[in-house]
Amino acid sequence: MGGVTWLNAQENVAKPRCGTMEVLKTNLERDPVLRTRFNQQKLQLRQMVQQRQLARITADTIYVPIVFHIVLQNPNLVTDEQLRDQIDTLNKDFAGLNGDSVKILPQFKHLFGKSIIQFRLARRTPNDQPSTGIVRKVTTRQEFNLNDPAVKYSSMGGDNAWDRNRFFNVWITDIVAGYLGYATFPQGSSAAEDGVVLDYTCLPGGVPPYDRGRTLTHETGHYFSLFHIWGEDNSCNGGDDIDDTPNQGAASGGCPTGIQTDDCSPTAPGIMYQNFMDYTNDPCMVMFTLQQVARMEESLTLYRNSYRTTNGHIPVGLVPLDASLRTIHTPVQRACAASFTPSVTLRNSGIQTLTAVDIHARIDDGTPVVTHWTGSLQTFGEALVNLEVLTTTPGHHTLTVYITNPNGGNDLDKTNDTLTTTFLYQPPVSPPLTEGFEGNTFPPAGWDVLNPDQSYTWERVSGVGNSGQAAVVMRNFNYTVNDMQDLFRLPVMKIANADSAFMTFQVAAAISSNPNGLLNPFDTLEVLASTDCGLTYTSLYKKWGAGLITRNTPVTTAFTPNANEWRKDSVNLTPYIGQGEILLAFRNTTQNENNIYLDDINVYSVVINPNLKTRGVLISPNPVQGDGQVNVQFYPNPVNLRSIAIYSITGAKVAERLIGGAGSTLYRFDMSLLASGVYVVHVVFSDRTVTQKIIKR
């Protein structure tokens, strides 16, 4: 299916995005025997489909075990949840149970095909050991070329295929040149390279408009012998060997609506741009046809018939009673209060329904606190469990969670009963807080960094500080995995007994592309605030591109700021006064542009003089001494101030400031050259005048 290429959605013109036919051509050119066998298979399959009745040879569902080989520098970029969603999408699309099938044009509804082919995550390895069907392989390769089979070989930085007669191999990686995926046809490749390769961005939750998992639906169609709906010659002479798909001259792109025609199908109902084997966007491809389904099922019978008898999707020897822990959800590196509620995912990994279990949680070597869980979990069912409250002390700690007494009995597999995590607790601090990163410890005490992909993240750097010799940097110039987010979090704070509060910081940034480009996906810097210890955040500051950079011209090498390339930015924290614990964070979202630096972070609060708050105007000091400075303060900012004047006791004007509109909160007057004595200050508003005597000593 399509790769990362940009379309003119109004013209609905598609550029090549699926690499299947290119890979097939390469394979056949380098292996004449393979080419002969493939051509014979193609002819044989067409003849068999034509002879076959629409009634299936068998109505039994065929379950195909999938193994996902995630081959990335950080394989954790792909989550288990995404893969489960991908399997769900694939099954619904093949079974014709996809909810968006209601979009099928009325002219084509009678051709809507529903297959008996279904997919399951592999539950055992080729050696019949237990498996989740997910293999995560860390590679040093940043990306893989279309015609480079290295992703399928462990010796070349990839991961070896599992037995293709028992498993459907799907590799998930970073594919160069904008392709989203490619597949091998039956007998169109060697056994070691048989399967589908996907770009990791096209899984459910990936990058729109290819974020619904339809890439794997498309490529699996190829895997079971379907061609692109338009054929491959971009004319009306080619075809897809399917009789119930209209003739089509070229690929469709974007998201068309209504009847669409071309030179090959110039009248209604036109072309079938909603077909999974076209190139439209994920939300707009919704169907296989009856004969496409027949071809795929016949292809399985002829060339992949071992899927009918494989046990790859059947778990290995589940024990009767096996409760397990999957994940500790909270705390995540940080506890924001001395007493907190841990949460975990409980899983039933046994045959018996799980109805009760004791979950123990302890901090360091302390006394465990027990949560008695009851419920009903079928095999492989999961539940989010909030545990009993724990209380900790300041510092770094280890949280250990383990389970006992499932259903009041003995857990028969104790290898999955225990999880641990580390976390930091520091009591909330109050403003002021200042940090210039001059100390050698990083992160500073009470700060932390969230680095989900364990790649480039916030780090201390020396020799480039704004006011000192150090700063923090996010090296986006070297960070080639886009859209990753890294947080640099401050100590938990409480802001109370103040009238206003702010955070200021120095920032220096550059980008490597045109700062005025309209479509550039720039690096983004945000300031976030959380009142629930990082579960959710509110963005208080967000800048990118021309709004963020401090060097206005593109920088094509790693950016290091000069002394004059720092800017002081400010964030208003006043709404968080008296709101309990607040967790502030800087968040970087990378797009591989250039480096961002931070320094001199300062959180402070402001308390207004109570006399000033009561009166609205405060003239001080009185008497005036020393350097003779007198301040005229306002609260809040005056909106109708006209002037401020100072007169001697005899009525002579000795100083004046004309305002004529909105004023500021503070005006200073120098009386050092005036003689000692009594003076009168006149503060003139449009609707009133405030006067006050002051003494100059």
Residues designated as active site: 219
Q: What is the per-residue DSSP string for 82-150?
A: HHHHHHHHHHHHHHT--GGGGGS-GGGGGGB---SEEEEE--B-TTS-B--SEEEEE-S-S-B-TT-GG
**285 CB-side CA count, 13 A:** 32
Q: What is the per-residue DSSP string for 441-468?
A: -SSPTT-EEE-TTSSS--EEEES--SSS
Question: Minimal CA–CA distance to 183: which of 146, 217, 152, 220?
Answer: 220
- Rounded Cα distance, 248 and 327, in Å: 50
Residue 379 neighbours by CB under 8 Å, 6+ apart: 318, 348, 349, 350, 351, 353
The Cα-based distances of 262 to 196, 247, 276 in angstroms read: 31, 9, 19
How far separated are the first and last CA of the chain, in Å rounded? 86
Strands 339-340 and 117-121: unpaired
Helix (H) or strand (E) holding 357: strand 354-363
Give the type of residue at 604: Y
Which pair of structure tokens corresponds to residue 290? 């009856």
- Rounded Cα distance, 607 and 616, in Å: 14
Provide the β-strand partners of residue 334: 424
Other C-beta atoms within 10 Å of 375: how many? 14
Question: Minimal CA–CA distance to 65: which of 199, 163, 191?
Answer: 163
Cis peptide before 32 (omega within 30 of 0): no
Provide the β-strand partners of residue 470: 462
* Cβ contact 679:648 at 8 Å: yes
Residue 626's region, left for phi above 0, alpha for psi from -120 to 50, else beta, is left
- Rounded Cα distance, 601 and 472, in Å: 11
In a 3-state reduction of DSSP, which class is residue 567?
A: strand
- Rounded Cα distance, 87 and 78, in Å: 14
Torsion of CA 203, 206, 208, 211, to 10 degrees: 30
Question: Minimal CA–CA distance to 573: which of 428, 432, 427?
Answer: 432
